[in-house]
Structure formats: C-alpha cells, structure tokens
Amino acid sequence: MGYALETLGATRCKEIASGLFKVDKEYGGVKLNGFCPIHQPTESNPSFVYHFEGDWYKCKSCGVGGDLVKLWEMVTGGDFLGFKKEYVTDSGSSGGTRPVRKLALVKPKVKIIVPDVFVSEDDLTALPPLPAARIAELKTLRGWSDQVIISQDLREFSDHRGGKRIAIPVRDDQERLCNIRLYQPGAAEFKVISWYDQLCKACGGKWKTVGKKKVCRACGLGPNDYGRTRLYPPPAQWKPGRLWLVEGEPDLLCALSNGINAVTQTAGCGTWRDEFSEAMAGRDVVICFDADEPGFKGAGAASKSLVEHAKSVRVIVWPELMGTKP
C-alpha cells in the first residue's frame, strides 16, 4: 500500500489523481483510465491507468509506473515533502479543505526517459536479400559498394500494395535492432520511412485508423514507435579521425562505400540532439547536408550544438549547381 492510500484513503487518492491526468473513463469503481501525462500529454490513445484502490499507476504505451506520490512528483516537479504539505495535515490525515489542483495537461518539469522499443530480429530475417538487379542499380546510381551492402545487411521490403523498398537495419552500440529504415529510391515524398509493426505486438490484432493514428481493432493499443532519431552507424563503429556528418542513410552508405568515416541521423536533418554532439566530443567534424533550405537550417542547428563539444566544426557550402535539378 502506498503512502497516499494509507494516509488519505482511496476516495481522496482518486480526487488527487483525476487532477494529474486527463481521465477518459472509470472502471469498476476501482481505477481511472485516461491519457498519459508523462510521455505524451497530448496523445490520442488512453493507455494510462491509475488504480485508486491499490494506489498504483501504469502506462501501457511508455511503461512508466509507480504510486500517487510519484505521479504527483513527476507531473508537478515537486517532492514528497511538497505532496505531504499539499494534502496531509500534521496529524497525518487528509486536510480535507484544500482543493485539488487541476494539472491534467501540465508539462512535466523533469526529464522523462521513454523506454526504448526494439524491432524483432525475426522481422528482419524474414526479409529477403536484395535482388541482383537492385544491387546493380544501387551501385550505379547511388555509388554503394558490394561490401557495404553486405556489411550493413541490406534487404528488400515489400508493402501490402507490392511496393519495394530497401530495408536498412539500424542498431545501437549493444547491437540491438532499434529500427529498420525503408528507402524507396526516386520517391517524391516519404523517400525514407521507419519500420512499422504489421500487427499489434500486444495481441496480434489488425490496425484501424482513428483520426490520423493507428490503433488495434482488438485491444485499442497503438503500434510501437521506432522512429526516434538516432546516430547511424552508432559511435562504437566510427573510425578514429575526422568524422563526416551527412544527410540521410543513402548518402551515408555512399560515403562508407568510398572509405569515408561518416555518420548520419535517422530522422532527417532537422532532428539533431545535443547528446549526438556529446558523442562527437573532441573530434573534427565536417557537416555536409543537402544544398537546400532544410539542409542549411539543419547544418546550422547541428553546428551550433557541436561547437560546444567537438574539436572543430566545418560546414560544406555547396556550389549553386548542387541545388539545381537537371
């Protein structure tokens, strides 16, 4: 039994909790179901549960959990003494006169680390190798070498409409499969997308679209999100010396094929994170993003962060012809 339940009782715990997250429904007179205030206060899937008869909460989506005091601390940025002062009298019982503050959509004041999710190795091994014709095309048009195609374990992905994409596995320093980036050469939009679950990982159900999001027809949960921006390849695979920061997996594979010590981020040039700069501490870094407006902005953001950590930072300014189309 948590401190709040033991001290205040289930009814008061329910009142306090209902002010800490957006409640969708109450079930069985014992728990509240609603939207997680921790990992995504504006989510559309009610995956968060608080059990006021047992004083515990759990988010089925991001995996966070604890008791009411911990929930209050994470949402408000306060501590145990703050909770006690807010809701408990000196005698140890509920004050009863202090109103419950409504904090349903208050942004947490502490850094929340969302647990990683990983793609099943079975999903990768189920994908066939790239056909010889596709390999020949990539060598000619993209400058990818046989060695890199093999070392990066590139495969072929077919969607439900018969479309073909190149599957690029993305692993972390522990060799865990974090994502499979799906590249479609020549596509006008969505040229590179992240891996997505074909069926619900919780129950095997099929997806339906509610608003603009997918949810399981059977259990209502959403798919895992593998699209978090990452460094590819991970730092443990970088060679010593100058590091070339390129834009996107296709350019990265071309650079590696030509013996260049290169890295990219997996979610576009506008998704740079300070932790990436920390991984490049003490290195000479050359940024060579695309010669377009997003590339210029992305290079500016990355260089601003990198100068705090890297030994040196240079940005390639392409000639005008690089920004034109034939």
For every one of its 326 residues, what pLDDT tens digit does the chain have, with 9 covering 90 and above? 678 888 899 999 999 999 998 898 898 889 999 888 876 655 567 888 999 998 999 887 777 888 999 888 888 888 888 888 888 865 445 544 444 444 444 444 444 445 578 999 999 999 999 999 999 999 999 999 999 999 999 999 998 888 899 999 999 999 999 999 999 998 888 899 999 988 888 888 999 988 878 889 988 888 888 988 999 999 999 999 999 999 999 999 999 999 999 999 998 888 899 999 999 999 999 999 988 888 889 999 999 999 999 999 999 987 765 554 43
What pTM was computed for the model? 0.64
144, 176, 193 from 179: Cα distances, Å: 21, 9, 10
CATH architecture of the domain 231-323 equals 3-Layer(aba) Sandwich (3.40)
Q: Which fold has domain 3-87?
A: DNA Primase; Chain A (3.90.580)
Tokens representing 184 are 């479609």
Closest CA to 190 of 182, 179, 198, 202: 182
Phi, then psi, of 182 in degrees rounded to 5: -110, 110
Residue 206 exposure: Cα atoms within 13 Å on the Cβ side: 1
Query: Structural domain boundaries of the chain?
Result: 3-87, 121-216, 231-323
Q: Which residues contact 205 (CB under 8 A, 6 or more apart)?
A: 199, 216, 217, 218, 219
Which amino acid is residue 192, in one-letter code?
V
What's the confidence (pLDDT) of residue 311?
94
CB 245, CB 285: distance < 8 Å: yes
